[in-house]
């Protein structure tokens, strides 16, 4: 799906496909350097992280395994509460593994701080976080994110895995929605 297919529903393009891919190339090089000679397990958080996982993993030179989790934060509407329920757990034993959680976006940071602590408690050798996007709120929570693609403003964004009502995930760029789409 491309810009023209949904032009009337978008307000802005925040990050182009080219910008996303260029930044992922830089992040992959950094991850390759940091994990040189080590084993690495990428843990993608469904469903938003599928695009980041697919592109970032293919840019890595490091051998990796990939596994997936699905979690849901209890809470009203769009606000994350920090109470997290596992909908789909990993199939991989984390004992002694170097884990890199791959995320699409960090907003309040509550989901990820819970998830990182949960994975650490399973005996992983290390647990780090890579996210394509980070919103300003995330700075308020003590969540140490090692790899950040872009810091973005507070606006709700779609595309590149991120949805509004399950739509727009298959846009190759990140955009903001026109107000009429919400109403
Ligand atoms: P936290 O716990 O960091 O939750 O508040 C992050 C999760 O919230 C969702 N989220 C968004 N989804 N556009 C989206 O499509 C956005 O702008 C956005 N902000 C937060 C997303 O599921 C993420 O994993
Ligand atoms: Mg997500």
Q: Which residues surround ligand 2, an ion (CB under 5 A)?
A: 48, 104
Which residue's CA is the closest to the ligand 1 atom numbered 5?
108
Catalytic residue among 67, 89, 91, 107: 107
Structure confidence at residue 78 as a pLDDT band (50, 70, 90): low
Cis peptide before 76 (omega within 30 of 0): no
pLDDT score recorded for residue 142: 72
Percent of the chain with pLDDT over 70: 95
Reduced 3-state DSSP string for the chain: CCHHHHHHHEEEEEECHHHHHHHHHHHHHHHHHHCCCCCCEEEEEECCCHHHHHHHHHHCCCCCEEEEEEEEECCCCCCCCCCEEEEECCCCCCCCCEEEEEEEEECCCHHHHHHHHHHHCCCCCEEEEEEEEECHHHHHCCCCCCEEEEECCCCCEEECCECECCECCCCCCEEEECHHHHC
163 Cβ inside 6 Å of ligand 1: yes
80 Cβ inside 6 Å of ligand 1: yes
Distance of CA 173 to the CA centre of its chain: 14
User: ∠ CA(97), CA(101), CA(104), 5° rounding?
Assistant: 165
Structure confidence at residue 159 as a pLDDT band (50, 70, 90): very high
Asked if the model's pLDDT at residue 160 lies above 70, the reply is: yes
Q: Can you tell me the distance from the alpha carbon of 24 to that of 29, in angstroms, rounded to the nearest whole number?
A: 9
Atom of ligand 1 nearest to the CA of 157: 17
In the reported structure, the alpha carbon of residue 151 is separated from the centroid of ligand 1 by a whole-number distance in angstroms of: 14
In the reported structure, the alpha carbon of residue 155 is separated from the centroid of ligand 1 by a whole-number distance in angstroms of: 11
Structure confidence at residue 77 as a pLDDT band (50, 70, 90): low
In the reported structure, the alpha carbon of residue 57 is separated from the centroid of ligand 2 by a whole-number distance in angstroms of: 17
15 Cβ inside 6 Å of ligand 1: no
175 Cβ inside 6 Å of ligand 1: no
Among 101, 103, 100, CA closest to 80? 103
- Strand 174-177 and strand 157-158: the pairing is antiparallel
**Ramachandran category for residue 158: left, alpha or beta (phi over 0 → left; psi -120 to 50 → alpha):** beta
Over residues 90-141, the pLDDT tens digits come to: 999 999 999 999 999 999 888 899 999 999 999 999 999 999 999 988 767 7
């Amino acid at each position: 799906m491309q810009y023209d297919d949904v032009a009337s529903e978008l307000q802005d393009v925040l990050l182009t496909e080219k910008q996303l891919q260029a930044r992922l190339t830089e992040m992959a090089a950094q991850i390759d350097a940091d994990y040189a000679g080590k084993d690495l397990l990428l843990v993608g958080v469904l469903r938003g992280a599928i695009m980041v996982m697919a592109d970032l993993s293919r840019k890595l030179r490091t051998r990796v395994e990939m596994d997936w989790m699905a979690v849901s934060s209890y809470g009203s509407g769009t606000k994350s509460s920090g109470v997290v329920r596992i909908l789909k757990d990993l199939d991989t034993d984390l004992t002694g593994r170097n884990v890199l959680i791959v995320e699409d976006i960090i907003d309040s940071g509550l989901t990820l701080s819970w998830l990182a602590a949960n994975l650490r408690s399973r005996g992983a050798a290390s647990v780090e976080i890579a996210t394509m996007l980070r919103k300003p709120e995330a700075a308020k929570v003590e969540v140490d994110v090692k790899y950040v693609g872009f810091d973005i403003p507070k606006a709700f964004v779609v595309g590149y895995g991120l949805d509004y009502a399950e739509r727009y995930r298959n846009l190759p760029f990140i955009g903001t929605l026109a107000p009429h789409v919400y109403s």
